[in-house]
Amino acid sequence: RAYSFANAPGASTEIELHVGLVPGGRFTGHVFNKMLVGDSLRFEGPLGKFVLHESERPILFIAGATGFAPVKSIVEDAFQRGLNRPMWLYWGVRQRANLYLAELAEQWQREHANFNFVPVLSDAAESDAWQGRKGLVHEAILADFPDMQGYEIYVCGSVRMVEAAVPAFLQHGLDEGLCFTDAFLPSAPRVSTDTGTERLVVVLSPTCP
């Protein structure tokens, strides 16, 4: 299984992963129901190129569900570097409970004048009493940024979300070379893409015996 780092580069000797419980998932079921502190895991990495790129352009982040994990890493890296580039994070989930670290994103917004957080619910429950943005997260971005020329964008989430969002952004002026993606690839074809509401932040220490 492939997971993206959620902590900023060099911030810790530990690795932070955000794992969503997939009904019937072999690995996530093990993580939630059987894995204990001190258990051993064999892993390979880090791999990939979903990292902060050097430029002066304003940044748009779009995260779907636990796609928030690598975005968190990049945002915290930007803060550590002291970047003043304008940044917007649009986090799309089904229901309010899926915004498992909304308080952290809200804290970023309070503490950094160049950062803005916009949560978007696609299937808000009546009990959510949600007064914020609704619908598909990439459509919320396009409503706010109909001309995407000159922006740099980072997209992380399901393959379905990435495949819907990226072509739409390119049609609205985004330079293909300024669009960076990290799509969640399923380990096998699944009938359902509903990942439920349970989320777990796992911290691994590679230096432990």
Q: What is the pTM of this model?
A: 0.89
Structure tokens that stand for 183 in this block: 């799509």
Strand partners for 134: 121
The one-digit pLDDT tens for each residue of the chain (209 residues) are 888 999 998 878 889 999 988 888 888 999 999 999 999 988 888 888 899 999 999 999 999 999 999 999 999 999 999 999 999 999 999 999 999 999 999 999 999 999 999 999 999 999 999 999 999 999 999 999 999 999 999 999 999 999 999 999 999 999 999 999 999 876 554 444 444 456 677 766 554 43
Q: Are strands 15-20 and 199-204 parallel, antiparallel or unpaired?
A: antiparallel
